[in-house]
Structure 1
Amino acid sequence: MIDIQRWTAPDLQNGADALARILHGCVHDGASVGFILPHPLGEALEFWRSDILDQVRQGHRLLLVAQDDGVVVGTVSLVTASPANQPHRAEISKLLVHPDHRRKGIAKRLMRAAEQAAVDAGKSLLTLDTRSGDSAEPLYASLGFETAGVIPGYCLDVTGQRFDSTTYMYKHLTPVPA
């Protein structure tokens, strides 16, 4: 059974190893999430223990984690820190499902939980970016995200050999009646 939980800073400290294995597996499967091969497991662990932990601790990022029968299999972040003129906006970041656990609807469940967390946080606009043509792009579209534009040559691919384009997407959230 898939269970989605919001992790606090202590949860992340205790579960960083599991999230590192997910990130490591995704990068080695070709995910364009900011890392270049070779991508050692220690680099993935450091990402969660430093960069993300500080943001979760400060309340700038909500971390949602998917478990399948108690095993951590996926995650997504909702970045809620924004400039003063954008208090209504949050960003979806690092939607990751371990390659061994895909095709079970986990990514969709994580995204729905992130949308609800955004609504609960008073946000009315979600933004994200994804590698153009990636398998996540149709997922986001199926959840109501619209394409704002494409930036060619945005980032290096996971091998560091060529540049990939990125697609920026957004979704207006329906306010929950008071």
Structure 2
Amino acid sequence: MLRFVLNPELTEDLFDDVLDCWVDVTNAGGAVGWVPPVTADDIRQVATATFARCGQKGPDSLLVGLDGEGRVAAWAVLVANANPLMAHWRTVMRVMVHPKHQGKGYGADLMRAVADAGLRLGLEALKLTCRGGLGLESFYAGCGYQEIGRQPLAIRVAPGDDRDEIAMVTFLEQRA
């Protein structure tokens, strides 16, 4: 069972642990912004910018799921909208579970924790996008999300391998 923490203090050790998770997920084939192989140096700049906006430092929220040893097993970011007319919902990004924890139900646990975090933040809805061709939309549908649209061939994984970007939403008041 994971212990979820919303906006933890991002120590150097926690930053490194989250970054290592991101690298390991990517290198295992996860659809989290890169294609393998990657190193921590490949992702570090984006990670630094992402986490600089989280918690008391900015408008976004980092949610981490820690395993029994206190290591990052899963995490996601709830990204705030800059437009005040859209302050009632956020975009969920960087959803990932470390490969060594795959198959334990931690992905569903993470998505429940994301919804709980959204409710604690006073949000009404959460949106996410996922890469087509991997069956991720079925996973998210099982977590209460519904498809609201697709941008065909939006994600170029490799030359000749373009995937749809699938937009999905969940309404938190319907889940409470």
- Structure 1 residues 176, 151: CA separation in 2 closer, same or farther (over 3 Å shift)? closer
1:122 counterpart residue number = 122
1:67 counterpart residue number = 66
Deviation at 1:169, TM superposition (A): 0.4
Q: Say if 1:13 and 1:53, in contact at 8 Å, map to a contact too.
A: no
1:136 counterpart residue number = 136
- Name the CA distance, whole Å, in 1 between partners of 2:88 and 2:66: 29
Q: Does 1:106 align with 2:95?
A: no
- Structure 1 residues 101, 153: CA separation in 2 closer, same or farther (over 3 Å shift)? same
Report 1:26-175 matches (<5 A).
26-48=25-47, 50-56=48-54, 57-69=56-68, 70-157=70-157, 159=158, 162-174=161-173
RMSD value over aligned CA atoms?
2.1
Higher relative contact order (Cα pairs below 8 Å, separated by 6+ residues): 1
2:18 counterpart residue number = 19
- Structure 2 letter corresponding to 1:79: V
Percentage of matched positions with identical amino acids: 23
User: What SS does structure 2 have at the residue aligned with 1:96?
Assistant: strand
Which aligned segments of 4 or more residues in structure 1 are displaced greater than 3 angstroms?
A: none
Q: Say if 1:16 and 1:45, in contact at 8 Å, map to a contact too.
A: no
Segments of structure 2 that go 5 or more residues without pairing to the other structure are: none
- Structure 1 residues 176, 132: CA separation in 2 closer, same or farther (over 3 Å shift)? closer
Deviation at 1:172, TM superposition (A): 1.2
- Name the CA distance, whole Å, in 2 between partners of 1:47 and 1:27: 14
- Name the CA distance, whole Å, in 1 between partners of 2:123 and 2:28: 33
Segments of structure 1 that go 5 or more residues without pairing to the other structure are: none
| TM value normalised by structure 2 | 0.88
